C-alpha cells in the first residue's frame, strides 16, 4: 500500500444516503482511501443538491455547497431503487462491496428487498449502516426528525440560551454532522469486527441517541441532585468580537495574580470576592464586568494569546474568516482548494483527525451519474444497448 492509497484502499462502499449524516460518514471513508459509490435518484439526485448557497447565487444541482462538501472523493451513479429492476441491480452491486450506508425510514429498504436481512445471505461480510432520527426500533422509530428536532429531543438545546428565555438551537446542522461522525465510528468498528471475526453486521445509528450522548453528563448530574440549567453568558466584548477570558474557573492562584497585574488591578489578587476559584465562580458577572473594561479596546486574538500565555483557558469566538486565517489550521493543512467543472474552485474543510503517513485525500464531488458507464458497463457488464434501455425507462 502506498501513501496515496489510504488505509481503506481495499474497501468499497455503496452510499445510498441523502442529506448530511450518511454522506458525511461516506465522505470520511472516501478520504481514508475507500472507493465510495454514491447512488442517487435519476434526474433528481441527492436532496442536498438543492441546498444553497450556490456560486453567484445561481441555483444549480451541480454547484450546491452542501453537496460538494459532503460528497467529496466519491464516484457517482444513478439508480431508481424503487423500481423492481433497480432493486435487482442494487442487489448485484451490494453483493460485492464491503459497506452499505443508507438513511431511509425504517422498513423502506426491506420493502424493496434490499434490507440487511435480504443482503446478508448474498454478502455475509457486509457492514450495513442505517442512519435514522430515532433508530430501527422503539416507539419513535417511524417519527420524522431534522436537525432542530434532534437537538430538542436529545436535550442538546435544554442548557443553551439565557435563563428565563427559550432554549436556543446550535447553528447550522451541528447535530446531523455529529450523527455522521457517530455513523463513521460505528461503521469502522463493525468493519474491524468483520476483518477479525469474519462476519458483517447491521449498524443501527440513532440521531437522538447520538445527541443524547453529548448531554449524558446532564442525566448523570441529575441523578446526583444537580439539575441542568441555562446560565448567564461568560463572554465579554473585545474591540473586534467576543472572548471568554476563562478566569472564573480553572485558574490557579499564582496565575490569578499575574492576570491582576496584567489588567492593571493588582489589588484584585487579595480581594475576597475574587481571590479563590469558588469566589470567582460565585461573583462571575462582577468579574466579567471588570475584565470587560480591560478587553474592550483590544483585538480578541491578542487577548486570547496573552491570557493563554499565562496558562488560562481563555478563548475567542471565531468567525468563518478567523477560521480561514487560523495559524493552527493552516499549519495542519486543514483547508484544501479543489476545482470543480461546474462550481469552479473553492476551499473545503478537511477531516477532524489525521493518521500518520496516511493523510485524508480530498477530491471533488461527482456530477450526477458521472460514473454510470464505469460501474454498469465495466463492472457489472451491461452492454451499451442494455444501458440505453435502462436510461430510457428511468432506471439509471
pLDDT tens for each residue of 33-65 = 999 999 999 999 999 999 989 999 999 999 999
In degrees rounded to 5, what are phi and psi of residue 206? -105, 120
The residue ranking higher by pLDDT, 20 or 6, is 20
**pLDDT at 3 (0 to 100):** 41
Distance CA 123, CA 131 (A): 20
Rounded to an integer, the average pLDDT of 331-342 is 94
Contact 116, 101 (CB under 8 A): no
Bridge pairing between strands 127-132 and 99-102: parallel
Q: Which of 30-44, 106-120, 301-315, 363-377 has the lowest mean pLDDT?
A: 301-315
Tell me the residue length of the chain.
396
Count CB atoms within 10 A of the CB of residue 236.
21
Q: Where are the alpha helices (DSSP H) in the chain?
A: 21-31, 65-70, 84-94, 108-111, 116-119, 147-153, 174-197, 207-214, 216-223, 253-262, 277-282, 284-295, 300-309, 320-324, 327-331, 372, 384-392
The boundaries of every CATH 3.30.1540.10 domain in the chain are 236-316
Q: What is the CATH number of domain 236-316?
A: 3.30.1540.10
| C-alpha cell, 52 | 444553497
Which residue is associated with the grid cell 443508507? 102
Contact 131, 207 (CB under 8 A): yes
Distance CA 116, CA 103 (A): 13
Closest CA to 177 of 322, 31, 351: 351
Output b/e per residue, 143-160; b: 16+ Cβ within 10 A: eebebebbbbbbbbbeee
Half-sphere exposure of 302 (CA within 13 A, CB side): 9
pLDDT digits (tens, 9 = 90+) for 104-130: 999 999 999 999 999 999 999 999 999
Closest CA to 96 of 188, 12, 197: 12
Q: Is the dihedral of CA 122, 127, 129, 135 positive or negative?
A: positive
Whole-model pTM above 0.85?
Answer: yes
Q: What do you get for the CA distance between the two ends of the chain, in Å?
A: 34
Radius of gyration of the chain measured on its C-alpha atoms? 25
Q: Which of 211-220, 231-240, 339-348, 386-395 has the lowest mean pLDDT?
A: 211-220
Distance CA 26, CA 76 (A): 12
Output b/e per residue, 348-384; b: 16+ Cβ within 10 A: bebbeeeeeebbbbbebbbebbbbbeebbeebeebee
Rounded to an integer, the average pLDDT of 154-167 is 88
Q: What is the mean pLDDT of the chain?
A: 92
| C-alpha cell, 385 | 444497448
76, 82, 88, 91: CA torsion to nearest 10: 60
Q: What is the CATH number of domain 12-216+331-392?
A: 3.40.50.10540
pLDDT over 90 (residue 248) = no
The boundaries of every CATH 3.40.50.10540 domain in the chain are 12-216+331-392
3-state secondary structure 242-308: EEECCCCCCCCHHHHHHHHHHCCCHHHHHCCCCCCHHHHHHCHHHHHHHHHHHHCCCCHHHHHHHHH
Which of 211-220, 273-282, 372-381 holds the top average pLDDT? 372-381
Closest CA to 22 of 105, 79, 84: 105
Q: What percent of the chain has pLDDT over 90?
A: 79
Band of the pLDDT at 355, cuts 50, 70, 90? Answer: confident
Rounded to an integer, the average pLDDT of 164-174 is 90
What is the arrangement of strands in the sheet containing 315-316, beginning at the earlier edge strand? 236-238, 241-244, 315-316
Amino acid at each position: 500500500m502506498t501513501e496515496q492509497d489510504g488505509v481503506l484502499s481495499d474497501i468499497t462502499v455503496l452510499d445510498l444516503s441523502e442529506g448530511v449524516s450518511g454522506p458525511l460518514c461516506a465522505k470520511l471513508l472516501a478520504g481514508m482511501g475507500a472507493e465510495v459509490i454514491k447512488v442517487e435518484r435519476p434526474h433528481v439526485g441527492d436532496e442536498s443538491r438543492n441546498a444553497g448557497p450556490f456560486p453567484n447565487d445561481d441555483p444549480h444541482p451541480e454547484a450546491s455547497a452542501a453537496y460538494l462538501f459532503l460528497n467529496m472523493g466519491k464516484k457517482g451513479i444513478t439508480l431508481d431503487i424503487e423500481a423492481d429492476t433497480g432493486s435487482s441491480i442494487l442487489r448485484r452491486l451490494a453483493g460485492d462491496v464491503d459497506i452499505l450506508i443508507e438513511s431511509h425510514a425504517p422498513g423502506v429498504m426491506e420493502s424493496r428487498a434490499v434490507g440487511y436481512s435480504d443482503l446478508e445471505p448474498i454478502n455475509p461480510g457486509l457492514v450495513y449502516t442505517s442512519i435514522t432520527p430515532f433508530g430501527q426500533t422503539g416507539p419513535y422509530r417511524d417519527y420524522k426528525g431534522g436537525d432542530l428536532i434532534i437537538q430538542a429531543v436529545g436535550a442538546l438545546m435544554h442548557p443553551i440560551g439565557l435563563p428565563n428565555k427559550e432554549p436556543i438551537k446550535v447553528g447550522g446542522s451541528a447535530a446531523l454532522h455529529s450523527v455522521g461522525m457517530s455513523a463513521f465510528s460505528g461503521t469502522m468498528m463493525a468493519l474491524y469486527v468483520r476483518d477479525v471475526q469474519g462476519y458483517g453486521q447491521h449498524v443501527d445509528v440513532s440521531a437522538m441517541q447520538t445527541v443524547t450522548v453529548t448531554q449524558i453528563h446532564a442525566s448523570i448530574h441529575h441523578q446526583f441532585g444537580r439539575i441542568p440549567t441555562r446560565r448567564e453568558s461568560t463572554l465579554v466584548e473585545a474591540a473586534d468580537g467576543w472572548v471568554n477570558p476563562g478566569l472564573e474557573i480553572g485558574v490557579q492562584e499564582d496565575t490569578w495574580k499575574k492576570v491582576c497585574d496584567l489588567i492593571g488591578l493588582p489589588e484584585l489578587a487579595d480581594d475576597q470576592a475574587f481571590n479563590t476559584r469558588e469566589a470567582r465562580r460565585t461573583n462571575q458577572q462582577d468579574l466579567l464586568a471588570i475584565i470587560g473594561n480591560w478587553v474592550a479596546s483590544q483585538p480578541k486574538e491578542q487577548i486570547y494569546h496573552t491570557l493563554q500565555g499565562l496558562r488560562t483557558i481563555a478563548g475567542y469566538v471565531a468567525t468563518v474568516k478567523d477560521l480561514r486565517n487560523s495559524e493552527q489550521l493552516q499549519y495542519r493543512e486543514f483547508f484544501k482548494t479543489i476545482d470543480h467543472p461546474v462550481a469552479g474552485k473553492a476551499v473545503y474543510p478537511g477531516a477532524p483527525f489525521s493518521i500518520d503517513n496516511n493523510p485524508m485525500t480530498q477530491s471533488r464531488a461527482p456530477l450526477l451519474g458521472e460514473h454510470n458507464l464505469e460501474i454498469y458497463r465495466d463492472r457489472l457488464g451491461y452492454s451499451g444497448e442494455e444501458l440505453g434501455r435502462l436510461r430510457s425507462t428511468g432506471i439509471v
